Structure 1
């Protein structure tokens, strides 16, 4: 169990030879949660308010630290790529004996969820994308700052203020905790290897061709904060037009963290959609 988040459960699973930290709790239809790509991020940090709500709604919730994030450390010399992250997600489902799941992807995790729904439609029941990458856009100053993070408490505090609309919720204690997470066990070196400058190429590498997005048949729910400074609202508007069975919910006075800034509304809408 995680010492920081005991209520979320958690343990290591061998996924293609990689010790992968996974929160696997609850019972019922499976839901796979794929977190974003901020420094110091983990499944627990991203989904701490979501996991208990989905368990209470009758789901088995599977929330991994994706390859290179949190406590999931790839082999030395591993080259990060969209393909390696996607393969890791599919191999995780295999390792856990999950044939089919609904998939919820946040930001970078949304790009992985999109690819899962496109490349492995037989594995995906319903699709939920939050402030998702996956369609073309010029990289924002916010995302460039996130991927270009240089570890310090001050830099982390500045990033937290980028993520949230109401910056009063981003405390110095939270900044210190996330800073510590961003340097723990070589996390800063792993993160620096993921998205080196020039960073537009990493946005482009996560773009799914239009015809592949149009071919997605899974019922899809899109979330976006209207005031998101990291991923522009236009990405979700474009996905709404491309995915046939899609609906979009936009939160006003909300930044990039819809699942935290509007947790109760987000959880209710998500549980209703997955029911």
Structure 2
């Protein structure tokens, strides 16, 4: 494989850095007990077979990793497409994949370009529109005409964009603690350049990930089973892919900040299930915003009802004690609510 001049330069710079800089976050230099994963998450096992959709986009050949999981037992004729969040991968949906396939769904769980096991191009114009188009092309390749589109976190923004672009192929829309329920720029969050995001993101460590997830994803509670997802993310920053992962993450942070979706929820034409952990406090750029701005951000217990009221055919389910990742924090409670909500959506849609 030919190494780009940018990537070669990054490696040289990395070698020039003093050891204490590389290990400044406590575990950037991995110990024998800490997993090290490749630039495309090589070494981390997914719960199902990973396939690759190969296509050309923006004048380059790319690979989009995905899992295509058949229903267990009798099929119900429906397909669910699961879109991961920014700090997540297709594998993070493993519990939901199991629950859906047990109910007869075929499940497609892709890794978006720039994430996890998919291509991470050095030069790519990231947009929610482009990622939605990539996903739609994958579904066309798989001969899937209609599907339930389900997105978590950033995947919720993407799922919303997908449903706006392709309403005729979106059977139902499910948004699980989506980010983008507020316009951070309009609320006063200052702009961060891609270079600034890169500088902060390349210092990613397991300790930092764990602390953030505890306070945001799991409502200040922690269980050892969450560490799998911490190490999945942190492991990519310990190996040779540290810088290309940080670069991809930086560019997608900028995408999220500059492409708000909140002003278009009233345009959705499909039955929508909004599932909110009330303890969620996620807000892009909150950490470097003025204190008076921080106080206004990430109130999901208020944002959930507000956004649900704007969506023409919406059903809201709230989890008062859960955080940003209810499907991981309380999977049984979450999946029971999910299937109850999907059934109600069918009634709303007159199916």
Cα deviations across residues 111-147 of structure 1 (Å, max 9, x unaligned)? 1111111111011000100111344343799xx9x99
CA RMSD of aligned residues (A): 2.9
Deviation at 1:68, TM superposition (A): 0.7
Instruction: Evaluate the alpha carbon distance shift between residue 10 and residue 105 of structure 1 in structure 2; reply closer, same or farther with a 3 A threshold.
Output: same
Give, in whole Å, the separation in 1 of the partners of 2:226 and 2:170.
39
Instruction: Report how far residue 20 of structure 1 moved.
Output: 1.3
> Is 1:120 aligned to 2:166, yes or no?
yes
Counterpart for residue 214 of structure 1: 266
Correspondence for 2:223? 169
Question: Which residue, 308, 326, 342 being the options, matches 1:240?
Answer: 308
Please give the secondary structure, in 1, of the residue aligned with 2:279: coil
* Matching residue within 22, 26, 30 for 2:79: 30
The answer to whether the aligner puts 1:19 opposite 2:63 as a matched pair is yes
- Distance (whole Å) between structure 2 residues aligned to residue 9 and residue 71 of structure 1: 12
Provide the rounded CA distance (Å) in 1 between the counterparts of 2:246 and 2:85. Answer: 12
Q: Deviations over 1:62-82 (max 9, x none)?
A: 000111111101433112222
Hey, what's the Cα distance between the residues in 2 that align with 1:119 and 1:104?
15
Which of residues 310, 313, 317 in structure 2 aligns to 1:249? Answer: 317
Pairing partner for 1:107 from 144, 153, 157? 153
Greater gyration radius: 2
Instruction: Evaluate the alpha carbon distance shift between residue 237 and residue 203 of structure 1 in structure 2; reply closer, same or farther with a 3 A threshold.
Output: farther
Task: Name the CA shift for 1:203/1:77 in 2 (closer, same or farther; >3 Å).
Answer: closer
Q: Which runs of 5+ in 2 are unaligned?
A: 1-41, 72-76, 284-297, 344-351
Instruction: State yes or no: 1:93 paired with 2:139.
Output: yes
Match of 1:43 among 77, 86, 90: 90
Deviations 1:190-214 (A, max 9, x none): 34344469x687334132534xx22
Residue 316 of structure 2 corresponds to residue 264 of structure 1: no
SS in 1 for 2:309: helix
What displacement does 1:172 show? 8.6
TM-superposed CA distance for 1:187, in Å, is 5.6
TM-score calculated relative to the size of structure 1 = 0.84
* Cα pair 1:151 1:183 within 8 Å, conserved: no
The residue number in structure 2 matching 1:152 is: 205
1:92, 1:183 → 2: CA distance? 31
1:52 is paired with a residue whose SS is: helix
Distance 1:111 1:173, change over 3 A: closer
Q: Give the match's secondary structure for 1:32.
A: strand
CA distance in 1, matches of 2:96, 2:339: 10
Q: Does the C-alpha gap of structure 1 residues 83 and 6 become closer, same or farther in structure 2, counting only changes over 3 Å?
A: closer
Match of 2:282 in 1: 230
Query: How many residue pairs get matched?
Result: 265
1:195/1:202 contact within 8 Å kept: no
Asked whether the equivalents of residues 237 and 245 of structure 2 are also in contact (C-alpha less than 8 Å), the reply is no
| SS state at 2:64 partner | strand
